[in-house]
Chain A
Amino acid sequence: MRHRSKFGQLLAMLAVVTAVAVACGGSAEPTASPTPTAPTASAPLTGKISVFAASSLTEVFKTIAADFQKANPGVTVEFNFAASSALATQIDQAAPADIFASADTANMTKVTDKSQIDGTPVTFARNLPVIVVPANNKAGIVGPRDLSKAGVKLVLAAPDVPIGNYARQIIDRLAATPEYGAAYKDATLKNLVSNEQNVRAVLAKIELGEADAGIVYKTDALVSKEKVKTVVIPDAANVIATYPIGVLKTTKNKNAAVAFMEFVTGPQGQAALKAAGFDTAS
């Protein structure tokens, strides 16, 4: 009898947990429930699309998706935000993505090389890497040269993550100039204390003041402008980040996926990207 009551307790606990989970799900439901408005297109789009997008797109893509869902109430947009390199590996392992939006062409090429994209990817945004430092800038970093000062703790994203790749290109370009010289690269990379998984992990380490400097996109610096300060990289040494987007061949909801992609590259999507600090495609 005692055992049965214990089993009952366990069931009760499970029931409570389930009830909480259902309640949580319920509160998120309204976004998905379609409002009975007249469809704008010939046939209203329905179903779910899964968007695999670079970490730096986190806020702006959520905004764009909200606008998209207002125009297409029947469609639910789900996101998987991570480093483009991680997303490319996941897609290679047949992750159920409908759309891939990468922060560089290299990782998009990994996907197109295996002909997993329907048609050709379209460039929808550009971005600019910047140096970020904690608001108090304890290490006194005012320019790229200071990244090579002894004792500075530098964090970058891992080399295959787009921003990690761009950052290393920038360091190489600076080292190639006579003012900086080859020693700059060695001294700077000696200060590197961590290869983070994505651009937002770099940003977090700077926000927390754990590291003295990092390289992220200017749009990331805008996202946390109270906590970090931006130090500009000279144009001559900087690289422009290019964001391609494409619909996957394996999509089960091609109409909605294409519509979302067109929305991103269309006037509303471009306006949202501009508002978030991105440079638009054209």
Chain B
Amino acid sequence: MADRVAAPRAGRRAWSLEALFLSPTLLFAAFILVPLVALAVRGWQDGEVAERLASPFVLHALRLSIVTSTLSLALALIFGVPAAYLLARSRFPGHRLLTILVELPMVLPPTVAGVALLVAFGRRGAIGSTLSSMGLELSFTTAAVVLAQLFVSAPFLVRSLQAGFEAIDPTYEDVSRTLGVSDWRTFWRVTLPLAWPSLLSGAVLCWTRALSELGATLIFAGNFEGRTQTMPLAIITAFESRAGLSGAIALSLVLLAVAFLLLVLARVSRGRSRGDVS
């Protein structure tokens, strides 16, 4: 960053703007970095943290988190890819309403999502009561965790992918079709590969959001080790238990590492698909 300031590409005016913007940027970066570094340092110093890392409590939560967030991502892809394509390429009555609907969970507090899911799919819920009479109960099950995650995370995939589809020049698809390639094959061979970067970043956002889901899960799915206690719930549980901060730090470090790894992987593979690694 310092190199850029020292060797501006565009004249003096740009230089002064960059200089002006530098301190808020650095402060912002420090604001994000300091707590994360503090977490890592505390984890390093606190002997209990390493001990807790290998405990079944942490391993159960990690496994459940990975399984549920992956399932959520899979479901988000199955329903989200068609939805994103339709929203990007078709104009139909209710298009704008559907766009807003898809975005709504992104701005909604997850606790609201949890209460709403409970009211819909809970034992006495609009749909849940019917399911319950058929012997199918969702609350307190792993399925409820996946539903909660899907509700809050899928919009991130749809939003990103919709923008990706919209940015593709329809000419490519037209050419493919005039060459006699079916719509279905055109979608798989032309459209989706062109939208790959946005699919990837949308998928990563969706996955990490599912991984960090807390509020909706706590309300809708409850908190039970191995069944509904994902990493974020385990962090809360550890924080409020005798293990206290050490347990919470151990779990936080694991989740931080996973999230960081996912972001880096996405960056690298997106760079590759564009032909550069930056």
What A residues does B124 contact at CB under 8 A?
Answer: 208-210
SS of B interface (majority): loop
Residues 234-276 of B, flagged 1 when their CB comes within 8 A of A and 0 if not, give: 0011011110110000000000000000000000000000000
The distance from the CB of A172 to the nearest CB of chain B, in whole angstroms, is: 18
Complexed CA–CA distance, A273 and B241 (Å): 27
- CB neighbours (8 Å) of B242 from chain A are 85, 110, 160
Q: State the CA gap A155–B245 with chains docked (Å).
A: 25
Asked if B187 is at the interface (CB within 8 A of a chain A CB), the reply is no
* CB nearest neighbor in B for A110: B242
User: A110 CA to B218 CA in the complex, in Å?
Assistant: 26
Q: Report yes or no: B122 in contact with A208, Cβ–Cβ below 8 A.
A: yes
Question: How many residues of chain B are within 8 Å of chain A by beta carbon?
Answer: 22
CB contact between B241 and one of A155, A160, A209, A210 (< 8 Å): that residue:
A160
Contact of A192 with B224 at beta-carbon distance under 8 Å, contacts A197-B218, A208-B124, A211-B140 already known = yes
Residues of B within 8 A of A196 (CB): 222-223
Is B228 touching A194 in the complex (CB atoms < 8 A)?
A: yes
Using Cβ atoms and an 8 Å threshold, which residues of chain A touch B236? 197
Chain A residues whose CB sits within 8 angstroms of the CB of B222 once the complex forms: 155, 193-196, 205, 210
A210-B122, A210-B123 known; A197-B223 Cβ under 8 A: yes
- Number of A residues contacting the other chain (C-beta, 8 Å)? 25
B contacts, CB < 8 Å to A: 118, 122-124, 139-140, 218, 222-225, 227-229, 236-237, 239-242, 244-245
A-B contacts, 17 of them at CB < 8 A, read: A86-B240, A89-B239, A89-B244, A89-B245, A155-B222, A158-B240, A160-B241, A160-B242, A193-B222, A193-B224, A193-B227, A194-B223, A195-B223, A195-B225, A197-B236, A209-B123, A210-B124
Instruction: List 16 additional A-B contacts (Cβ < 8 Å) besides A89-B239, A195-B225.
Output: A82-B240, A83-B240, A89-B245, A153-B140, A158-B240, A158-B241, A160-B240, A192-B224, A195-B223, A197-B218, A208-B123, A209-B122, A209-B123, A209-B124, A210-B123, A210-B140
